[in-house]
């Protein structure tokens, strides 16, 4: 008898205001490079991103490191379902929180996406310009007490300019 492997992740759905509230930085950034390594028995991938538009917490042209769970080292791969896989050369709208336990003395800030793939939305160039799309790595989302899964706040591709306007409206006023 053969058994197929089963895998999946269930994550609490976050609204746009919740994503913004939990973020230490909200940026549109391009992935410059990615490298995987072992960390405490797990594989993690550190992606260096270059900020194009720093909406909150980071300025344009800043370099940030975004750590995600999973990757491949020496032919050994680990995948964490629901965790985003940032690809070099691609652009994302990122909702980032400071990585727990990151050393304050590092020259580059270390972050992780808020809400797993909810915090890493691909920016895709189309014939009508840039669009923000739901992350294809998004896990099943739930609301506490709900009987069914729910959809993400961004459930279909939308123009980048419209999404950024909505994100800016959700940001707290400057100085608060």
What the chain holds in terms of domains, given with CATH numbers, is 10-170 (2.40.50)
**pLDDT one-digit tens code per residue, 125-136:** 989 899 999 988
CA 30 from chain center: how many Å?
12
Model pTM score: 0.87
The three-point CA angle 77-28-12 to 5° equals 60
pLDDT in tens, 35-71: 999 998 999 999 999 999 999 989 999 999 999 999 9
Query: What residues form DSSP beta bridges with 31?
Result: 49
For residues 91-107, one letter each, b for 16 or more C-beta atoms within 10 angstroms of the residue's C-beta and e for the rest, the string is bbbbbbbebeeeeeeee
β-strand partners of 76: 73
């Amino acid at each position: 008898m053969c058994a197929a492997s089963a895998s999946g992740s269930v994550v609490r759905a976050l609204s746009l205001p919740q994503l913004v509230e939990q973020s230490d930085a909200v940026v549109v950034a391009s992935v410059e490079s990615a490298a995987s390594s072992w960390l405490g028995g797990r594989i993690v991938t550190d992606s260096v991103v270059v900020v194009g538009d720093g909406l909150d917490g980071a300025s344009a042209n800043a370099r940030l490191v975004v750590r995600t769970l999973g990757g491949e080292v020496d032919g050994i791969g680990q995948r964490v379902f629901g965790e985003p896989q940032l690809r070099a050369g691609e652009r994302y709208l990122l909702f980032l929180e400071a990585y727990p336990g990151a050393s304050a003395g590092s020259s580059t800030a270390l972050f992780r996406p808020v809400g797993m793939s909810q915090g890493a939305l691909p920016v895709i160039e189309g014939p009508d310009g840039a669009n923000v799309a739901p992350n294809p790595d998004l896990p099943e989302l739930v609301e506490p007490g709900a009987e069914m899964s729910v959809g993400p706040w961004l459930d279909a591709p939308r123009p980048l300019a419209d999404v950024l306007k909505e994100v800016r409206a959700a940001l707290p006023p400057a100085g608060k």
